[in-house]
Structure 1
Amino acid sequence: MNRITHVLLYCILFLTACQSDPWEETSRRETSGIVFKLQYDGFDDATSRSSNIRLDAKYDRVEFCIVDAQGSTIEGIKSLYDPNSSEIKIEGLQEGSYTLSILGIIGDETRDGATISPIRNLDEVWLRFPSDIQKPLEAEYFYSRTPFTVVRRSDPSGDELISTTNDQIVQKRIIGRTDFSFDFNNPYVETALLTQNVTLESPLFLTEFSGSGQFSGASDGIDFTMDLGTRSSYLLLPSVEETPLSGEIELTTRNYRGFTIRRTYDFTLQEIRPNTIEHIHTQVEHPDDRSATLFITERSLEKAKPNYILQDDEPYSVYTDGSQRSFNTADPLQISISDDGLLHARFYSPRDLSDVLIQARIPSISEEFFDLAYFDRVPAFVDFYGDLPMATKTTVTRTESGKILEMEPVSLSELQDAEFRISSDDPFWKKLEAIEHGWTIGFALYGGDPELPDGGPVGNWMGIRPVHCREVVALFLNFTYMIDMPEHEEILRANADRLYGNGGVNDKVSVETVLRQMRQKRTLNVGLVYPGNGVIGLGGGSVFGAYQQAWFQHYFNSYSCEIMFHELGHVMGYSHSSSFTYGPWAQELMNHFYVDHIQEMPIDSPLYLNSAQNPNKY
Structure 2
Amino acid sequence: MKRIVTVFLWSLLLTAASCAHEAWPEPDRSGASSGAVFSLYSAEYDDAVSRATLGEGRYDRVEFCIVDASGAAVPNLKGAYDADAAQIRVEGLHEGDYRLLVLGIRGDAAADGATVHAISHAGEEWITFPEELRKPLEAEYFYSQTPFSVVVHGSADGNTEEVLLAEQVVQHRIVGRVDFSLSFRNAQVEAALREASVEVGEYRFRTAVTGDGTLAGEGFGNFDALDLSQGGSWLFLPTVDGAALRGEVAVRTRNYLGTDVSRSFAFDLHSVEPNRIAEVRTEVVHPDDTSATLFLTEKAYAAGNHALILQDSEPKEVYTDPAQRKFNTAAPLQVAATDAGELHVRFYSPRDLGQVLIRARIPAVDTEFLDVAYFDRVPAFADFRARFPFIEREGMARSESGRWVRIPRLEAAALDGIEFRIESADAYWEKLCAIKHGWTIAFSLYGGDPDRADGGPVGNWMGIRPVHCREVVALFLNFTYMIDMPEHEEILRANEDRLYGNGGVNDKVTAETVLRQMRQSRTLNVGLVYPGNGVIGLGGGSTFGAYQQAWLQHYFNTYSCEIMFHELGHVMGYNHSSSFTYGPWAQELMNRFYVEHISQMPIDSPSYLNSSKNPNLYK
Q: Pairwise mapping of residues 40-439 of structure 1 onto structure 2 (< 5 A)?
A: 40-45=42-47, 51=51, 53-152=53-152, 160-165=160-165, 168-439=168-439
| Structure 1 residue matching 2:72: 3-state secondary structure | coil
| Contact 2:541/2:572 (8 A) holds in 1 | yes
Taking a change above 3 Å as real, the CA distance of residues 174 and 462 of structure 1, as seen in their structure-2 partners, is: farther
CA distance in 1, matches of 2:61, 2:449: 62
Given that 1:17 and 1:73 are in contact with CA atoms closer than 8 Å, whether structure 2 keeps it comes out as: no
Partner Cα distance (1:450, 1:81) in 2: 67
CA, structure 1 residues 16+558, in 2 after alignment: closer, same or farther (shift >3 Å)?
A: same
Q: Residue 484 and residue 123 in structure 1: after superposition, are their counterparts in 2 closer, same or farther (change >3 A)?
A: same
| Cα distance between partner residues in 2 of 1:500 and 1:521 | 22
For the residues of structure 2 that align with 1:367 and 1:537, how far apart are their CA atoms? Answer: 50
Return the match for 1:38 from 40, 52, 55: 40
Q: CA deviation at 1:534?
A: 2.5
What is the distance in 2 between the residues matched to 1:155 and 1:349? Answer: 91
Return the offset for 1:252: 1.5
Contact 1:343 1:387 (C-alpha < 8 Å) held by counterparts: yes
Q: 1:24 to 1:198 in 2, by over 3 A?
A: closer
Instruction: Measure, in 2, the Cα distance between the counterparts of 1:44 and 1:245.
Output: 19
> 1:173 & 1:110 partners in 2: Cα distance?
18
Tell me if the contact between 2:296 and 2:374 (Cα under 8 Å) persists in the aligned partners.
yes
Instruction: Give per-residue Cα distances to partners, 1:206-235, cap 9 Å, x unaligned.
Output: 121222222111222424421110333222
Question: Are 1:437 and 1:480, in contact at CA under 8 Å, matched by a contact in 2?
Answer: yes
Structure 1 equivalent of residue 443 of structure 2 = 443
Match of residue 522 from structure 1: 522
Q: Is the 8 A contact 1:450 1:462 kept in 2?
A: yes
**Cα offset, 1:433, TM superposition:** 0.5
The separation in 1 between residues aligned to 2:605 and 2:155, in whole angstroms, is 86
* Kept in 2: contact 1:18–1:66 (CA 8 A): no
> In 1, Cα distance between the equivalents of 2:421 and 2:464?
33
Q: Is residue 590 from structure 1 mapped to residue 593 from structure 2 by the alignment?
A: no
How many residues are treated as equivalent by the alignment?
Answer: 602
Distance, in Å, in 1 between the alignment partners of 2:125 and 2:556 is 76
Residue of structure 2 equivalent to 1:20: 23
Q: Is the 8 A contact 1:36 1:167 kept in 2?
A: no
Cα distance, 1:189 vs. partner? 1.7
Q: What does the per-residue CA deviation read over 1:67-113, in whole Å, with 9 as the maximum and x for residues that have no partner?
A: 23343334554433333333333344343322222222222222222
One-letter code of the match for 2:297?
Answer: T
Counterparts of 1:90 and 1:453, CA distance in 2: 73
- 8 Å contact 1:565–1:586 — kept in the other structure? yes
AA partner of residue 44 (structure 1) = D
Q: Distance in 2 between matches of 1:607 and 1:586?
A: 25
Write the distance in 1 (CA, Å) between the matches of 2:571 and 2:354: 34
What is the one-letter code of the residue matched to 2:180? F
Alignment partners' CA distance in 1, 2:340 and 2:543: 35
State the shift of 1:417 in Å.
Answer: 3.1
What code does the residue aligned with 2:406 have?
A: E
1:168, distance to aligned residue in structure 2 (A): 4.2
d(CA) in 2 for partners of 1:154, 1:360: 95
- Rounded to whole Å, the distance in 2 between the matches of 1:521 and 1:478 is 16
Greater mean deviation of Cα atoms: 227-236 or 165-174: 165-174
1:456-471 map, 5 Å: 456-471=456-471
Residue 204 of structure 2: SS of its match in structure 1? coil
Partner letter of residue 544 of structure 1? F
The answer (yes or no) to whether the contact 2:295–2:373 under 8 Å persists in 1 is yes
Counterpart of 2:98, as a letter, is: Y
Deviations 1:388-411 (A, max 9, x none): 221122211111122221121122
Residue 9 of structure 1: aligned partner: none
Cα distance in 1, alignment partners of residues 242 and 150 from structure 2:
41
8 Å CA contact retained: 2:364, 2:415: no
Letter in 2 for 1:549: Q
How much has 1:514 moved relative to structure 2?
1.9
8 Å CA contact 2:19, 2:64 repeated in 1: no
Distance 2:342 2:169 in 1: 56
Query: CA separation of 1:269/1:495 partners in 2, compared to 1, >3 Å: closer, same or farther?
Result: same
Q: How does 1:518-597 map to 2 (within 5 A)?
A: 518-597=518-597
The change in CA–CA distance for 1:545 and 1:40 in structure 2 (over 3 A counts) is farther
| Shift, 1:416, TM fit | 4.7
For 2:92 and 2:464, locate their aligned partners in 1 and report how far apart those are by CA, in whole Å: 79
Relative to 1, partners in 2 of residues 1:354 and 1:17: Cα closer, same or farther, differing over 3 Å? same
Q: CA RMSD in A?
A: 2.5
Q: Name the aligned partner's letter for residue 393 of structure 2.
A: K
2-structure distance, mates of 1:142, 1:313: 54
Q: Structure 1 pair 223/107, CA: closer, same or farther in 2 (3 Å)?
A: closer
Q: Equivalent residue for 2:9?
A: none
Instruction: Indicate if the aligned counterparts of 1:253 and 1:262 stay in contact, CA closer than 8 A.
Output: yes
Pick closer, same or farther for the CA change 1:168–1:479 going to 2, 3 Å: farther
Residues 339 and 413, structure 2, Cα contact 8 Å, conserved in 1: no
Helix, strand or coil at the partner of 2:219:
coil
Q: What's the counterpart of residue 6 of structure 2? A: none
Partners of 1:91 and 1:314 lie apart in 2 by 72
For 2:12, the equivalent position in structure 1 comes to none
SS in 2 for 1:504: coil
SS in 2 for 1:459: coil
TM-score, normalised to structure 2's length? 0.91
Deviates most, 163-172 or 419-428: 163-172
Distance 1:49 1:589, change over 3 A: closer
Q: Per-residue deviation at 1:238?
A: 1.3
Letter in 2 for 1:164: L
**Unmatched 5+ stretches in structure 2:** 1-16
Q: What letter corresponds to residue 497 of structure 2 in structure 1?
A: D
SS in 1 for 2:280: strand
Q: Give 1:160 deviation, angstroms.
A: 4.1
CA contact 2:181–2:231 (8 Å) conserved in 1: no
1:294 deviates by: 1.5
CA distance in 1, matches of 2:164, 2:517: 99
Kindly indicate whether the alpha-carbon contact (under 8 Å) linking 1:19 and 1:75 is maintained by their aligned counterparts in 2: no
The one-letter amino acid paired with 1:20 is: A
- Greater mean alpha carbon deviation, residues 191-200 or residues 511-520: 511-520
Separation in structure 2 between the aligned mates of residue 467 and residue 90 of structure 1, nearest angstrom:
71
Superposition deviation, residue 157 in structure 1: 8.9
Q: Does the Cα contact within 8 Å between 2:181 and 2:280 map onto a contact in 1?
A: yes
Give the 3-state SS of the residue equivalent to 2:65 in structure 1. Answer: strand
Distance 1:614 1:176 in 2: 54
Amino acid at match of 1:257: L
The Cα of 1:383 is off from its aligned counterpart by: 2.1
Greater CA drift, 533-542 or 574-583 = 533-542
- Paired with 1:534 and 1:158, the residues of 2 have a C-alpha distance of 102
1:340-396 Cα deviation digits (max 9, x unpaired): 322222222121211111100011211111111111222222222334221122211
- After TM superposition, the score normalised by the length of structure 1 is 0.91
Report the Cα offset of residue 247 of structure 1: 1.1
Tell me, in whole angstroms, the C-alpha distance in 2 between the residues paired with 1:186 and 1:180. 19
SS at 2:220 equivalent: coil
**How far did residue 131 of structure 1 move?**
1.5
Change in Cα spacing, 1:321 to 1:215, as seen in structure 2 (3 Å) is farther
TM-superposed CA distance for 1:558, in Å, is 0.9
2 CA distance for matches of 1:295 and 1:575? Answer: 52
